[in-house]
Structure formats: C-alpha cells, structure tokens
C-alpha cells in the first residue's frame, strides 16, 4: 500500500483530541509515576498518541495531519482568556515580584542563547544555528520559531531553518512539560509541605472567585447567557488578532499577543467604562478547556520519526539546554522568588515556558497546585510574563544577537 498523509478535518481532530485527553486522565490516575512527577494529563495522553502514530508510520508509512487552524484557534482562545481575566485592579497585585520574575527569565534568555551559540560554534556549526536551539524556539515556541526560521533562511542562508525550528520547538514543548512537575515537586518536598485534601466546590453566582486557571477541576456555575457573552468576547479577540496580523504583516508580534492584548483592553473598557459584570467563571472554564485541547493537538501531531532523524549537534544542544533549565529553575528562579511554595510553583511555570510555551507552564503549575494547594501569586505572574512581556524581551534580545553573530559570519 502506498504511503500517504491522512488529513483529519475539524470534526475528527476534535474527536481525537478529546480521546487523547481522556486517555491522559486515565494514565495519570492509574500510573503512579505520572502522579509522583506531576505530569500534566495532556502531556501523558499526547505522548502516548505520538508513540502510537510513530509505530503506524514506521510499519505502514501512513501519517496523520490534524486541522491546524483549529489547533491555532484553541491556542488563541486560551491567550484571549488570559487577557480577558486581566483586571487592572488585580494586575497591581503583581508588583515587585512580577518585575523580579521578568528580570530572572530575561537573564535566562541570554544564558539560553549563549549556551546554544557556544555549543554550535564548538561543534563547527553556524552560530545562528545555536539561536534556533536557543530562545527562538525554546522560550519563543512554534510561532516565534516559524517567524525567525524564515528570516534565518532568507537573510543568512541557513537551509531548512524553519523545519529545524519546528522540531526544536516540539522538543521544548514536551521537555518543558516533563521537567516542570518534578522540579517543583522536589522543591515542595524539601519544604515538608503535604498534599491538600481535594474537595469539590461549586461557586454561587457573584463576584470574581480568584481561582482563574489555578483549579481546572473547580466547578463553576455557568448559564447559557454567560457562555454566549463569553464566546462573543473570544470572537472579538480572535477577529482583532486576525485583522492586525493581516494589516501589519511586517510587525513581529505573534497573533496570540494581539489576542491577549485586545482581551486586556476589552476587559477593562467593559468593566470600567460600561460597568459590565464580567463573568470570570465562564472565561476560566473556556480558557482551561482550550488549554487542554491545544496541548493535546500539539503533542499528538508530533512526528517522533523526525526527532529521531535530528542531527547529533541539535540533540546535544537541546539536551544541554534542558539540563540548564532544570538547574536554573531550581537554583535561581526558586531562590530569587522567595524560596517558598509560591516560588516552587513559579519554577514549574518557568520550566514550562522557558523550554516550551505558556500553556505548558500553566499545565505544569496546575499539576502542582492540584496536589499541594493554590498559588495566586504564581498564577498572576506567570501568564503575564510568559504570554506577554517575555515575547517582547525575547525579540529584542534575538534581534541584537542576530545582528552580532550575523555580522561576524
């Protein structure tokens, strides 16, 4: 039988993603290893799906392609939910810890790039290859990797830069989800903190419950009216982000930043100017569901046979980057953020977006807080820094480093 790519339309992509999530939940519930290391459910189910699909590919030559726009839509909805939850009156709570955390992760971006460039040069590779296996894909993710991959190919002649970036970003997404839980778990165990007893709570209708993204299993009352209002706001954020990307194609901000930013503006205009009663519980539920579906789709579409074919230098750099992230999160992030429980959750989040993406960071933190209790501080700081500020810092650092090393070639 002739090998072919089997394309899954939107319906089958959604069905496959939900099955992956249900299997992931079952794996985490039944396998002690996943519980002990706080592996997020989308990561557990997604990796299993990726292995199964790799076996199918190796035996039959058939591969599967999911509905990419659907995956992107769930990613945008998640980031829009962060923006729609960003009440300016609550953002002030971040204060100095938010600034300190931003400085910590900014320093790590520089270290990440220096490690990549240094190892690439030592192995006789183009120094810019080190940036692809540095913050372009690890801190930046797939979107930044795609954008800079095109630039590196067109301006600096690095062949297949975009393909390399996609593989590196996928590696980072998986490794970021795998190491965040264990790093935080070790920090928490050293503190002697015990798991909290999980109770099912149901919110009554009323004011903001201060639980956004922290407790994915926390039950929240949602009416049909609030669901429709929330979907309308998400639609506005996605539409605005699409218009801005098409209107300003040369502007380097990824689309999810536009969605997040417009969510912040929309939220505060509606609540401040029009005194709109924002239903945060609906935003929370839609955001958490979109987060899980996005991660499931991203991981089940991963082509492990491409990872197996990666060049030795790339594997070596990515492996070292993972070790550097572990040590930095454990010894620097946690220490400078206070060396307490909140700092441990922040370290898990840093592992998530320092190697993968903000959704991975949130999933890492949820896996910890679901066991050891909530961390309002971490869930206020990480989404803001990981999904908004750090992209601006990363782009500024990358542009400077590309100018330095590009000129040196």
Q: How confident is the model at residue 284 (pLDDT cuts 50, 70, 90)?
A: confident
Lowest mean pLDDT among 48-57, 81-90, 203-212: 203-212
Residue 207 pLDDT: 42
Average pLDDT of every residue of the chain: 83
Q: How many CB atoms lie within 10 A of CB 232?
A: 10
Give yes or no for residue 212 having a pLDDT over 70: no
Domain boundaries, the chain: 5-408
Q: Give the helix ranges, DSSP H, for 133-254.
A: 141-156, 161-191, 224-247
Q: Tell me the average pLDDT across 191-200.
A: 69
Question: Residue 206 above 50 pLDDT?
Answer: no
Question: How confident is the model at residue 105, as a pLDDT?
Answer: 95
pLDDT tens, residue by residue, 61-87: 888 888 888 988 998 898 888 788 777
pLDDT in tens, 28-52: 888 887 776 556 788 788 888 888 9
Q: Which residue has the tokens 């931003």?
A: 102
For 238, other C-beta atoms within 10 Å of its C-beta total 21
pLDDT tens per residue, range 358-383: 778 888 998 898 888 888 888 888 87
pLDDT > 80? residue 302: no
Comparing CA positions, the residue from 388, 140, 399 lying closest to residue 257 is 388
Residue 205, pLDDT score: 43
Q: Which of 296, 327, 320, 318 is nearest to 182 (CA)?
A: 327
Put simply, whether the predicted model's pTM sits higher than 0.75 gets the answer no
Compute the average pLDDT of residues 117-140: 90
């Amino acid at each position: 039988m002739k090998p072919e790519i089997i394309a899954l339309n939107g319906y089958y992509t959604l069905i496959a993603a939900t099955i992956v999530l249900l299997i992931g939940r079952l794996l985490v519930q039944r396998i002690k290893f996943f519980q002990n290391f706080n592996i997020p459910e989308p990561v557990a189910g997604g990796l299993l799906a990726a292995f199964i699909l790799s076996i199918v590919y190796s035996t039959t030559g058939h591969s599967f392609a999911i509905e990419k726009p659907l995956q992107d839509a769930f990613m945008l909805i998640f980031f829009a939910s962060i923006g729609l939850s960003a009440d300016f009156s609550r953002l002030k709570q971040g204060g100095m810890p938010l600034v300190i955390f931003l400085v910590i992760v900014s320093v790590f971006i520089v270290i990440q790039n220096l490690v990549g460039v240094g190892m690439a040069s030592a192995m006789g590779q183009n120094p810019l290859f080190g940036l692809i296996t540095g913050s372009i894909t690890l801190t930046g993710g797939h979107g930044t990797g795609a954008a800079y991959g095109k630039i590196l190919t067109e301006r600096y002649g690095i062949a297949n830069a975009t393909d390399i970036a996609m593989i590196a970003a996928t590696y980072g997404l998986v490794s970021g989800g795998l190491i965040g839980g264990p790093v935080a778990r070790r920090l928490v165990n050293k503190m002697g903190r015990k798991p909290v007893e999980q109770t099912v709570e149901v919110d009554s209708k009323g004011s903001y419950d201060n639980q956004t993204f922290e407790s994915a299993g926390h039950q929240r009352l949602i009416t049909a009216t609030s669901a429709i209002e929330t979907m309308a706001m998400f639609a506005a954020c996605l539409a605005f982000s699409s218009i801005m990307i098409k209107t300003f194609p040369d502007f380097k901000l990824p689309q999810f930043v536009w969605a997040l930013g417009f969510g912040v503006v929309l939220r505060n205009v509606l609540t401040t100017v029009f005194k709109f009663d924002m239903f945060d519980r609906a935003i929370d539920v839609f955001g958490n569901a979109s987060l899980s579906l996005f991660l499931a789709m991203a991981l089940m579409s991963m082509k492990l046979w491409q990872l197996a074919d990666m060049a030795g230098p790339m594997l070596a750099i990515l492996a070292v980057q993972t070790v550097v992230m572990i040590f930095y999160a454990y010894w620097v992030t946690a220490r400078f953020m206070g060396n307490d429980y909140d700092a441990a959750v922040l370290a898990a989040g840093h592992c998530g977006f320092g190697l993968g993406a903000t959704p991975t960071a949130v999933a890492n933190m949820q896996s910890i807080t679901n066991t050891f209790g909530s961390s309002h501080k971490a869930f206020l700081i990480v989404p803001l820094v990981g999904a908004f500020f750090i992209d601006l810092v990363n782009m500024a650092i990358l542009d400077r480093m590309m100018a330095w090393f590009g000129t040196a070639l």
